[in-house]
Amino acid sequence: MKKLIYLGITVGGIAGGWLGSLADHGNWLGVWGIIGTMVGSLAGIWAAVKLGSDQ
C-alpha cells in the first residue's frame, strides 16, 4: 500500500506540475506550477488509497 501511495504522489505530482507549468508559460517554480504539483500529488494519494482499498 505504501509503495502505491508513493507512486501516486510521484505520478500525480509530475502530471500536475507539468499542467501547472503550461498555465505559467513553462515556469515549473511559478505559482501555477507549485499549485498544480500540490493538487496532482493530493489526487495521486486519493487515487492510490482508492485503488489499494479495493484489494
What are the sequence ranges of the domains in the chain? 2-53
Cell numbers at 17, concatenated: 506540475
Q: In the predicted model, is pLDDT for residue 55 greater than 70?
A: no
Q: Quick: pLDDT tens for 2-52.
A: 999 999 999 999 999 999 999 888 887 889 999 999 999 999 999 999 998
The answer to whether 48 touches 4, Cβ cutoff 8 Å, is yes
Which pLDDT does position 27 carry in this prediction?
84
pTM for this predicted structure: 0.84
Q: Going by C-beta distance under 8 Å and a sequence separation of 6 or more, which residues neighbour residue 47?
A: 8, 12
